[in-house]
Amino acid sequence: MEKLKLPIKDRKTTSFTNKPWFSAVLPLIVLFVLMSLIKPDTFLTTSNLMNILRQASTYAIMAVGMTFPIITGGIDLSQGSLLAVVAIVAGMIIRDTESILLAVLAGLVIGAVIGFLNGTVIAYLEMPPFIMTLGTMRALRGVALLLTKGSPIDIKLEAYRFMGTQSFLGIPLPAYMFILVAIAGQFILSKTATGRYIFALGSNVEAAKISGVKIVRNRIKAYMISGVCVAIASLLYISRLGSAQPIAGEGYEMEAVAATVIGGTSIVGGEGSAMGSIIGAVVVALIRNAMVLLQISTYWQSIVIGLVIVVSVSIDIIRKRIEARRVG
Amino acid sequence: MGNEDVILRFEHVSKMFPGVKALDDVSFDIRRGEVHVLLGENGAGKSTLIKILTGVYTADEGRILLNGREIKPTNILESRKLGIGTVFQENSLVPHLTVAENIFLSREIKNSANLIDWKETNAQAQYWIREMGIDIDPRTQVRRLSVAEQQIVEIAKILSQQPSIIILDEPTSALSDNEIDNLFNTVNKLKEEKGITFIYISHRMEEIKYIGDRATVLRDGKFIGQLPNLEEAKLDDIINMIVGRTLEEKFPKRQVEIGDVMFEVEHLTVPKTIYDVSFQVRSGEVVGLSGLVGSGRTSTAKAIIGMLPKEKGVIKLNGKPAVINTPHDAIKIGIGYLPEDRKREGLLLDKPMYENVTLPALHKFKKFGVLSKALEHQTAEEYREKLSIKTPSVERETKFLSGGNQQKVVFSKWLCAQTKVYIFDEPTRGIDVGSKSEIYRIINDLAAQGAAIIVISSELPEILGVCDRIVVMCEGRVTGELSREEATQEKIMKYAIGGAGSYGKVEATH
């Protein structure tokens, strides 16, 4: 085989277009430019852009969490209901004790415990993740309704509202938070052994097992990370809105899945990134915002988001086919 | 060269991939009704040639003539319509469908109501299976068949499409000797009775001489030559043409001090799989685990590393009993298992080579809890050089490497993990002569460093060539043990089919 001179580093790793999240950047740029041209006076204002970031924050943090189970080849449908349970428990603690620390701790622990429960059953019993998390999704929604008897909990403590409502350097604090969560998520995925193992078991579970990867432990970790991310998103969510509804977060798990796949994470596992997922979440928020500004009905929002999911995943698939043809 | 007997002609076919000229001006003929063997190391261009013929790739230059007419298939269906049938290395049957359903998949036979005509489907399936010289109920689910039977069904499926050319890509790699004989009988029958032309790819020298009429040798994407009479060709000459150099010896000799007993398996039992398996491996020793396919060799290996639950039995390392419940435990105490199916169990195909190499010993690449990509790259580069793994970069996904190079990546994993006991399951399956001898060299080096090595192989010459001692299994039990000196193919076979000289079940040795 005659070898041609290749640079030491494979082009593949350095090329921007080959990053898995590339397919999400494209709609992001297109949407942004289009809206800037059509509605420069309402879209391209600081307050509007900050509003987009604030709205994206909940989905973005959930999507970072969703990235982990999806990379293992699973899914976490319980995210939306878990958001409600954490919101209600944290809200009750704040209402009754005014202790922010206790509320935050309780929220994070609930997220971790539910993630542990999901992961344990999925890993030990090898139950399909879809079924297990569908079960917890329904059960947790019931818990949320039981705890509140159906009525919302108001959060009046000013100190707690700070995080969700204030800004720093003109950028809302929730935006800092979701970027922080994304960085942490990306760090785990690409810089730690746990991250590598999560990719490995999503890529080829048999090979991973024979290579000594602890399958059960790492699967559980993936769902725990998802749960903790939901808890963070939830704590921020009630801080922003000032109330915890028992029906909060309904359908949010699907928004998180959408953001994750728009961000280039493969739904069959083995590939993905936290950074892609937050870009995906911003794309979804951007679409919603654009629709509102253009005074298009909410029905259309759903149609457009549906199309964006299909189009961006198509771009990703076509990109991979071209790559495979090129390399042979 | 009489033109009328040429069925397929390649003319100046070239194909470029980035960094590699996969095929370089290749021209040759294949004659009607012959078994034409394609020979070459991994990466020589055989697969690329077949993929162009079946429409997976298109040639950059040159043309292919079928019966004198140029063909340009753009996918496998088109090539099938042209009368070219392919039996792939990995079988492509749907496990939960029946034999008949598989044979007529996508070509269902319908009745007047446009529903599937099951009677006719099953009858026709039966006909094609009988053509293959065996009898399987066409209503059996494919997953209930043995690997060999599945392969027969696969060929029957191709045959039912009545092709003029059948491509067999490594058809025997999963078959036992007996099953190979059956397959060869079928090939000969189809060749003689139906005049079907076969293109045959295999790395097993013994069998290509037996089955092949003529051969074409490719090396580094170039046409090297043809062997007009395979039966009379000398093995050494064939190997020389393939590798372009004289292999000093197929199985390199080694001078190793065999030390103390290092690894012991005692009374290992897995319900309904293996019974009371015991053997020892010394430091520096290579022990072969032989037996027919399904005799419990791989199950023994998997029970050792904790992939299968043990009912009974002790594993000892340096005299101390080891607790092994998962492969993780096995690696931790120093036992590594190279699986028989590298694509299914050996590699993360979508991941870069370096991530594969470091996976079993990832903890070694942590600095303050963070993975050091630089260190991982450095190590992967080391193995790439040491094992001469052909890849443009350690970042390249392993799915893009050839079989032999993939296997070397799997070897790198275990070398990198620096275990003390190595279990190599079919270490040279489906790889070329050149890579084979490199792999034997690696095994020898490991032995020289004092490792205890177990080699599982279906190829008797390989077992005889590399092992110091051979443990033979039959139906889940150890039926014999032979030293290198006393071992012959015949003796191994005798034990493999059921004990010393006597057929049938061996008495349980409780």
Contact A12 B393 (CB under 8 A): yes
Q: What is the CA radius of gyration of chain B?
A: 24
Rounded to a whole number of angstroms, the distance from the CA of A24 to the nearest CA of chain B is 21
Closest partner CB to B20 (pick from A1, A191, A271) = A1
Rounded to a whole number of angstroms, the distance from the CA of B51 to the nearest CA of chain A is 11
- The answer to whether the beta carbons of residues B110 and B119 sit under 8 Å apart is no
Say how many C-beta atoms besides its own lie within 10 A of residue A172's C-beta: 22
- Residue A281 forms part of a structural domain: yes
Contact B351 A197 (CB under 8 A): no
Give the amino acid at B274. I
- Residue B219 forms part of a structural domain: no
**Structural domain count, chain B:** 1
Q: Cα dist. B504→A95, A175, B182, B403, B477 in Å?
A: 79, 74, 22, 38, 13
How far apart are alpha carbons B203 and B168 in whole angstroms?
12
Pairing of strands B261-270, B274-282: antiparallel
- The answer to whether the beta carbons of residues B158 and B85 sit under 8 Å apart is yes
Q: What pLDDT does B40 receive?
A: 81
Mean pLDDT for all residues in chain B = 85
- The answer to whether the beta carbons of residues B127 and B105 sit under 8 Å apart is no
Contact B395 A214 (CB under 8 A): no
Contact A211 B347 (CB under 8 A): no
Q: What pLDDT does B278 receive?
A: 92
Tokens 């090329």 belong to A15
Residue in A closest to B331 by C-alpha: A212
Higher pLDDT, B128 or B242: B128
High-pLDDT (> 70) share of chain B, %: 93
List the single range of A164-173, B51-60, B84-93 with lowest mean pLDDT: B84-93
Closest partner CB to A210 (pick from B22, B339, B366) = B339
Contact A210 B337 (CB under 8 A): yes
In a mutagenesis test of the A interface, which of B16, B20, B423 is the best target, namely the one with the most A β-carbons within 10 Å? Answer: B20
**In 3-state terms, what secondary structure has residue B485?**
coil
Q: What pLDDT does A40 receive?
A: 83
Residue B471 has pLDDT above 50, yes or no: yes
Contact B366 A193 (CB under 8 A): yes
**In 3-state terms, what secondary structure has residue B404?**
helix
- Judging contacts by C-beta atoms under 8 Å, the chain A residues touching residue B396 are 10, 12, 327
Q: What pLDDT does A17 receive?
A: 57
Q: What pLDDT does B89 receive?
A: 65
Tokens of B289: 């685990």
Q: Which long-range contacts (CB under 8 A, 24 or more apart) does A92-95 make?
A: A92/A147, A92/A153, A94/A155, A94/A157, A94/A160, A95/A153, A95/A154, A95/A155, A95/A156
Q: What pLDDT does A18 receive?
A: 60
Residue in A closest to B401 by C-alpha: A328
- Judging contacts by C-beta atoms under 8 Å, the chain B residues touching residue A192 are 369-371
The mean pLDDT value for B376-382 works out to 93
Contact B344 A207 (CB under 8 A): yes
Q: In the structure, how many helices (H) and strands (E) does chain B have?
A: 16, 22
The CATH number assigned to the domain holding A228 equals: 1.10.3470
Q: What pLDDT does B253 receive?
A: 66
Q: What pLDDT does A42 receive?
A: 85
Print the domain residue range for B471: 261-496
Q: What pLDDT does A2 receive?
A: 39
Low-confidence residues of chain A: pLDDT under 70: 1-20, 324-328
- Residue A129 forms part of a structural domain: yes
Residue B115 has pLDDT above 60, yes or no: yes
- Residue B119 forms part of a structural domain: no
Residue B205 has pLDDT above 80, yes or no: no
- Residue B359 forms part of a structural domain: yes
- The answer to whether the beta carbons of residues B7 and B82 sit under 8 Å apart is no
Smallest CA-to-CA distance from B122 within B77, B160, B150 is with: B160
State the maximum Cα–Cα separation within chain A, in Å, rounded to a whole number.
Answer: 75
Q: What pLDDT does B455 receive?
A: 95
Order of strands across the sheet with B197-201?
Answer: B84-87, B165-169, B197-201, B35-39, B214-219, B222-227
Closest partner CB to B345 (pick from A4, A13, A210) = A210
The mean pLDDT value for B374-388 works out to 91
Smallest CA-to-CA distance from A80 within A321, A256, A277, A291 is with: A256
Rounded to a whole number of angstroms, the distance from the CA of B82 to the nearest CA of chain A is 24
Residue B191 has pLDDT above 50, yes or no: yes
Closest partner CB to B362 (pick from A4, A196, A203) = A196
Give the amino acid at B202. S
How far apart are alpha carbons B495 and A170 in whole angstroms?
81
- Residue B179 forms part of a structural domain: no
Task: Number of A to B CB contacts under 8 A, please give it.
Answer: 120
Residue-wise pLDDT tens digits, B223-274 = 998 988 888 888 778 877 877 755 445 676 667 778 899 999 999 999 888 8
Element (H, E) at B336: strand B335-338
Contact B348 A270 (CB under 8 A): yes
In a mutagenesis test of the A interface, which of B52, B362, B372, B424 is the best target, namely the one with the most A β-carbons within 10 Å? Answer: B362
CA angle (B423 as vertex; B420, B427 as ends), nearest 5: 125
Residue-wise pLDDT tens digits, A185-234 = 999 999 999 999 999 999 999 999 999 999 999 999 999 999 999 999 99
Residue-wise pLDDT tens digits, B178-189 = 778 888 888 888
The mean pLDDT value for B137-158 works out to 85
Q: What pLDDT does A4 receive?
A: 39
Residue B501 has pLDDT above 50, yes or no: no
- Residue A206 forms part of a structural domain: yes
- Residue B151 forms part of a structural domain: no
Q: What pLDDT does B348 receive?
A: 93
- The answer to whether the beta carbons of residues A251 and A78 sit under 8 Å apart is no
**Structural domain count, chain A:** 1
- The answer to whether the beta carbons of residues A195 and A188 sit under 8 Å apart is yes
Contact A212 B332 (CB under 8 A): yes
Helices A274-293, A22-38: crossing angle, 10 deg rounding = 20
ipTM comes to 0.83
Higher pLDDT, A112 or B503: A112
Print the domain residue range for A168: 22-31+39-319
- Residue B147 forms part of a structural domain: no
Tokens 């390649």 belong to B10
High-pLDDT (> 90) share of chain B, %: 39
- What's the number of CA atoms in the CB half-sphere (13 Å) around residue B265? 29
- Residue A3 forms part of a structural domain: no
How far apart are alpha carbons B377 and B416 in whole angstroms?
12
Closest partner CB to A207 (pick from B348, B395, B417) = B348
